[in-house]
Chains A and B, each alone.
Chain A
Amino acid sequence: MQFMLLFSRQGKLRLQKWYVPLSDKERKKISRDLVQTILARKPKMCSFLEWRDLKIVYKRYASLYFCCAVEDQDNELITLEIIHRYVELLDKYFGSVCELDIIFNFEKAYFILDEFLLGGEAQETSKKNVLKAIEQADLLQEVRIFLYHQIHLL
């Protein structure tokens, strides 16, 4: 995978994960143009398109578009499954996830993505294991904070 973008129906970016080295300017341009292209598509259209010699796979979940740019040899149908798996993970983590969850906890969305995909490829195919790892990492964060506060009070 080259990159993944999450954006709202108004074209506002909610998450952008880039796995290829591109400058900020280039990223902005690609995001802007691609978002416009996808928003212009009609609802019943194909989830796949060829855009500027990239293969794009996208799917809309409620008010959010999940869009990935994959390599030539990548299987488009399994990419749709990857997108779906990510949505399921978010759903499990936040409990019936909605766009607002992702807006106000964007860093968590990134952490979950980073536990599911690594370098653009799926790293863990078991939903349970991904969620367990996130839970543990969150705990690690909490414990340290807790310890810190304890010291501060004394």
Chain B
Amino acid sequence: MSPSVPLQEMIRAIRSARTQCEERGVIQRECAAIRAQFRQSDNGGRSHNLAKLLYVHMLGYPAHFGQMECVRMIASPRYSEKRVGYLGAMMLLDEKQDASLLITNSIKNDLSHSNQYVQSLALCTLACMGSAEMCRDLAPEIDRLLRASNSYIKKKAALCAVHIVRKVHDLGEMFAPAARSLLSEKNHGVLHGAVVLITELCERNLETLEKFRKAVPDLVQIMKGLVISGYSPEHDVAGISDPFLQVRILRLLRILGHNNEAASDAMNDLLAQVATNTDSTKTVGNAVLYETVLTVLDIKSESGLRVLAVNILGRFLLNNDRNIRYIAMISLQKIVGTDHNAVQRHRGTIVDCLKDQDASVKRRALDLSLALVSASNIRSMMKELLIFLSSCPLELRSQAASGIFIAAERYAPSQRWHIDTILHVLTTAGGDVRDETVPNLIQLITNASELHCYTVHKLYRALLTDISQQSLVQVACWCIGEYGDLLLRGECQETEPVQVHEDDVLDALETVLQSHMSSPATRGFALTATMKLSTRITDNVDRIRSIVSIYGSCIDVELQQRAVEYNALFKKYDHMRAAVLERMPVIEKTAPGQTNGESTGEPIKDIQSVKVKQGELLLPQPPANQVHDTNVYEKDGVTLTMSCEKQSATGLTVTLTASNSTESDISSLTLQAAVPKSVQLHMKAPSGDSLPARGAAKVTQMVVLNNPNKVGLTRIRISYSSQGSAFQDTIQIDAFPGLSAAGH
């Protein structure tokens, strides 16, 4: 092995440069020399020159002027030059460069070279940086090599075929037959390549996968041979015979057994054998066990085998090696949905991993812990999660906080516990929670009416300790404003009685108002709270008046506006002040996606999907704005007429007219409409809600629809009161008059 002297001298020179600037100088000189050498004709030192350039390139300096030299070297008859030339091609040429196409011909020639090491160079380069075009060109060559060459070349051809298939998916079919026959080879390198190739083919094409299922018995045989066979020094790694091949076979078996009973049955025994007999003291054994577990959990395995697999993961969790613990948690995460109870058994260990030093392990443990929270373990799990939250790394905090909120909402054993938990999170990680937390918490608090006193006391105390967590401060201010009277009353069932004076409360709010830590939104909360207290306290109303008037000239426009309005409330509308500032009613949780015109919170937008006729109209519709009137409902004297007017190709305006022919008046008339998801609906305000008797007057309501699929199905609900009783009915409308049914 003779070292390249010129190369090594240059490397020494570069390394002895003491500054970046000096290094640049050396490199510039060398590059100039290299460029000069490239221009000269064949001088025997070409490979050394290119090698020098590649070194320079690795240091991060530009080397594109070497690309053509690579192309020339690859075409050289000298092996040493070819070798460096191909190396240069892999380093300097990627498929995006035009020059890469120029080497296609050289590769083609070298693929059929008499010397296998030259063939090897070509195969390696093609598999590393071959573009789709090159792959298409050379695929037949590769297929030929797959069938008729020695093991050394076959194994390389197989992996080259893998690259080709990744680049040009359709070519997969070409290699399937050759791949199948390779499975009967004895050479491990060839077997490995064949398994990788078959895996790639099966992942891409369902038909190919079906065909290769027949190979499962062969694969099981090969695997058995590896597992049972005696010591084979050539392939042994710490007592495991060719773990690389074992892992690849297991992965292929996973793909073949997925969703297929027969194939899964055929591999069941083997998997059980590997799972039980593989030595797990070293990483290599665990690598095989890991792959086995993944396979067992992804195929239709027997329940006994599944339990075995989950237990292996459980053992992994207790392993000293952090890597193994991490792997275990990733796998458990994948099955926590399907094998929930099995994973629950290892909850203790998982929760312990929350305290691990490593951030990746912590993250996995957090994900898993949140997935394992249930009604029965909520209290103990929450304790652990809250401990975790107080010491967890910053990047995990918001994830932890939102996970805790979701878990708390789903499984809270009591309202007080729920409120306590949220307060705890706000105190620990208030800066990392999402914005909806504040209104959600406020709503929760209003709903827990027995706990108002307890909550406001607790929040007040929290406010006194720390005003930096904005979400917490906002909620605290709101509560103090709303329930200030309870705060001042002093006694509270749930906590020790504490005497709170009006001045203290106003001090606290003023501190928030004036603090530079408070955001504008927070100060808004504080100001409003102060104002609300004016009806809940007795002695210090003047103080509140003065605070409010000061903020009337605040720079912050929002605060200024509020202060001015409150001022007005004091001065001109003092008689209304008590009513305006009284206790709020319980807030209902609003359903998402309500449109104008629907009176209650019920969402009625989800109709069964309707069969829709789509496509080009054979008979194009006449564009005129046609108006049609139809009776859609007539019952108990109440009539509903519908009139449609086309506004555009998809837009339609529907006017509903209701009339009452009975002897008694009808009141509280409401109309609601529901449409399929593809239609947009906009209901305008009705003209009124009462229908006097004997048709004395009518009520009209306009509905605007955007109906791109020309769907007709709409449901209209009509409700009203007559003679003290409530009536409700639903009308189904299959087609809109004006949208001709013919031709669709």
Q: Does A52 contact B (CB under 8 A)?
A: no
Q: In the complex where A118-B156, A140-B115 touch, is A77 in contact with B327 (Cβ < 8 A)?
A: yes
Which of A104, A105, A111, A124 sits near B189, CB closer than 8 Å?
Answer: A124
Q: Contact: A21 with B358, CB < 8 Å?
A: no
Nearest to A20 among chain B residues (CB) is B94
Nearest to B124 among chain A residues (CB) is A114
Q: Contact: B361 with A46, CB < 8 Å?
A: yes
Task: Tell me the smallest distance from the CB of B722 to a CB of chain A, in Å.
Answer: 63
Q: In the complex where A21-B94, A46-B323, A114-B124 touch, is A122 in contact with B192 (Cβ < 8 A)?
A: yes
Q: Does A19 contact B (CB under 8 A)?
A: yes
Q: Contact: B96 with A78, CB < 8 Å?
A: no
Chain A residues in 8 Å Cβ range of B283:
77, 80-81
Q: Does A75 contact B (CB under 8 A)?
A: yes
Q: Does B162 contact A (CB under 8 A)?
A: yes
Task: Tell me the smallest distance from the CB of B124 to a CB of chain A, in Å.
Answer: 5
Q: Does A60 contact B (CB under 8 A)?
A: no
Q: In the complex where A123-B156, A145-B80 touch, is A118 in contact with B360 (Cβ < 8 A)?
A: no
Stretch at the interface among B241-249, B517-525, B578-586, B655-663: B241-249
Q: Contact: A118 with B247, CB < 8 Å?
A: no
Stretch at the interface among B1-9, B175-183, B435-443, B488-496: B1-9
Q: Contact: B58 with A21, CB < 8 Å?
A: no
Q: Does B348 contact A (CB under 8 A)?
A: no
Which of B80, B234, B284 sits near A141, CB closer than 8 Å?
Answer: B80
Q: In the complex where A45-B357, A125-B242, A144-B80 touch, is A78 in contact with B44 (Cβ < 8 A)?
A: no
Nearest to A73 among chain B residues (CB) is B251
CA distance A102 to B568 in the complex (A): 81
Q: In the complex where A78-B244, A78-B247 touch, is A110 in contact with B87 (Cβ < 8 A)?
A: yes
Which of A23, A81, A103, A123 sits near B94, CB closer than 8 Å?
Answer: A23
Q: Contact: A46 with B360, CB < 8 Å?
A: yes
Q: In the complex where A75-B290, A118-B127, A123-B192 touch, is A81 in contact with B11 (Cβ < 8 A)?
A: no
Q: Contact: A81 with B84, CB < 8 Å?
A: no
CA distance A83 to B515 in the complex (A): 57
Q: Does B128 contact A (CB under 8 A)?
A: yes
Q: Does B372 contact A (CB under 8 A)?
A: no
Interface size class of B (residues with CB under 8 A): 35 or more
Task: Tell me the smallest distance from the CB of B100 to a CB of chain A, in Å.
Answer: 10
Task: Tell me the smallest distance from the CB of B410 to a CB of chain A, in Å.
Answer: 27
Which of B131, B189, B242, B291 sits near A123, CB closer than 8 Å?
Answer: B189
Q: Does B314 contact A (CB under 8 A)?
A: no
CA distance A125 to B196 in the complex (A): 13
Which of B60, B156, B326 sits near A46, CB closer than 8 Å?
Answer: B326
Which of A48, A122, A142 sits near B360, CB closer than 8 Å?
Answer: A48
Q: In the complex where A46-B360, A103-B11, A105-B3 touch, is A81 in contact with B244 (Cβ < 8 A)?
A: yes
Q: Contact: B96 with A21, CB < 8 Å?
A: yes
Q: In the complex where A77-B287, A78-B243, A126-B235 touch, is A144 in contact with B79 (Cβ < 8 A)?
A: yes
Interface of B is mostly: helix
Q: Does B55 contact A (CB under 8 A)?
A: yes
Task: Tell me the smallest distance from the CB of B613 to a CB of chain A, in Å.
Answer: 42
Nearest to B115 among chain A residues (CB) is A140
Task: Write the B459-475 contact mask toward A (1 if CB under 8 angstroms, else 0).
Answer: 00000000000000000
Chain A residues in 8 Å Cβ range of B251:
73, 75
Q: Does A133 contact B (CB under 8 A)?
A: yes
CA distance A13 to B60 in the complex (A): 9
CA distance A136 to B121 in the complex (A): 13
Which of A77, A81, A140 sits near B237, CB closer than 8 Å?
Answer: A81
Task: Tell me the smallest distance from the CB of B552 to a CB of chain A, in Å.
Answer: 52
CA distance A152 to B42 in the complex (A): 13
CA distance A119 to B59 in the complex (A): 24
CA distance A121 to B199 in the complex (A): 12
Q: Does B351 contact A (CB under 8 A)?
A: no
Which of B2, B7, B327 sits near A76, CB closer than 8 Å?
Answer: B327
Q: Does B428 contact A (CB under 8 A)?
A: no
Q: Does B129 contact A (CB under 8 A)?
A: yes
Nearest to A59 among chain B residues (CB) is B323
CB within 8 Å of A: which B208-244 residues: 234-235, 237, 242-244
Q: Does B188 contact A (CB under 8 A)?
A: yes
Nearest to B95 among chain A residues (CB) is A21
Chain A residues in 8 Å Cβ range of B152:
133
Q: Does B83 contact A (CB under 8 A)?
A: yes
Q: In the complex where A81-B287, A106-B58 touch, is A125 in contact with B244 (Cβ < 8 A)?
A: yes
Q: Does A92 contact B (CB under 8 A)?
A: no
Q: In the complex where A44-B357, A77-B323, A123-B156 touch, is A136 in contact with B234 (Cβ < 8 A)?
A: no
Which of B51, B117, B189, B237 sits near A137, CB closer than 8 Å?
Answer: B117
Q: Does A82 contact B (CB under 8 A)?
A: yes
Task: Tell me the smallest distance from the CB of B692 to a CB of chain A, in Å.
Answer: 67
Q: Contact: A138 with B357, CB < 8 Å?
A: no
Which of B84, B237, B245, B291 sits near A107, CB closer than 8 Å?
Answer: B84
Which of B2, B11, B96, B243 sits near A142, CB closer than 8 Å?
Answer: B2
CA distance A12 to B14 in the complex (A): 13
Nearest to A115 among chain B residues (CB) is B120
Task: Write the B70-84 contact mask toward A (1 if CB under 8 angstroms, else 0).
Answer: 000000001110011
Task: Tell me the smallest distance from the CB of B160 to a CB of chain A, in Å.
Answer: 7
Task: Tell me the smallest distance from the CB of A26 to a CB of chain B, in Å.
Answer: 10
Q: Contact: B58 with A111, CB < 8 Å?
A: no
Q: Does B159 contact A (CB under 8 A)?
A: yes
Q: Contact: A119 with B162, CB < 8 Å?
A: yes
Q: Contact: A129 with B127, CB < 8 Å?
A: no
- Most chain B CB atoms below 10 A, which of A106, A141, A142: A141
Chain B residues in 8 Å Cβ range of A144:
78-80
Task: Tell me the smallest distance from the CB of B102 to a CB of chain A, in Å.
Answer: 17
Task: Write the A46-64 contact mask toward B (1 if CB under 8 angstroms, else 0).
Answer: 1111100000000000000
Q: Does B418 contact A (CB under 8 A)?
A: no
Chain B residues in 8 Å Cβ range of A46:
322-323, 326, 358, 360-361
CA distance A109 to B326 in the complex (A): 31
Q: Contact: A107 with B234, CB < 8 Å?
A: no
CB within 8 Å of B: which A82-131 residues: 82, 85, 103-108, 110-111, 114-115, 118-119, 121-129
Q: Does B398 contact A (CB under 8 A)?
A: no
Q: Does B676 contact A (CB under 8 A)?
A: no
Q: Does A22 contact B (CB under 8 A)?
A: yes
Task: Tell me the smallest distance from the CB of A124 to a CB of chain B, in Å.
Answer: 4
Task: Tell me the smallest distance from the CB of A129 to a CB of chain B, in Å.
Answer: 7
Nearest to B88 among chain A residues (CB) is A107
Q: Contact: A125 with B117, CB < 8 Å?
A: no
Nearest to B200 among chain A residues (CB) is A121
CA distance A7 to B615 in the complex (A): 60
Task: Tell me the smallest distance from the CB of A60 to a CB of chain B, in Å.
Answer: 13
CA distance A57 to B294 in the complex (A): 19
CA distance A133 to B120 in the complex (A): 10
Nearest to B203 among chain A residues (CB) is A73
Q: Contact: B155 with A124, CB < 8 Å?
A: yes
Q: Contact: B117 with A136, CB < 8 Å?
A: yes
CA distance A49 to B95 in the complex (A): 29
Task: Tell me the smallest distance from the CB of A70 to a CB of chain B, in Å.
Answer: 13
Task: Write the B339-361 contact mask toward A (1 if CB under 8 angstroms, else 0).
Answer: 00000000000000000011111
Q: Contact: A75 with B87, CB < 8 Å?
A: no
Q: Contact: A78 with B192, CB < 8 Å?
A: no
Contact sample, A vs B, 8 pairs, CB 8 Å cutoff: A45-B357, A75-B291, A76-B323, A77-B324, A104-B3, A107-B54, A114-B87, A119-B128
18 further contact pairs, Cβ within 8 A, besides A107-B4, A125-B189: A22-B94, A75-B290, A76-B327, A77-B290, A78-B243, A78-B287, A80-B323, A81-B244, A111-B83, A123-B156, A124-B155, A125-B235, A127-B234, A136-B117, A137-B83, A142-B1, A144-B78, A144-B79
- 5 closest Cβ pairs, A-B complex: A119-B127, A77-B287, A119-B163, A118-B159, A78-B287
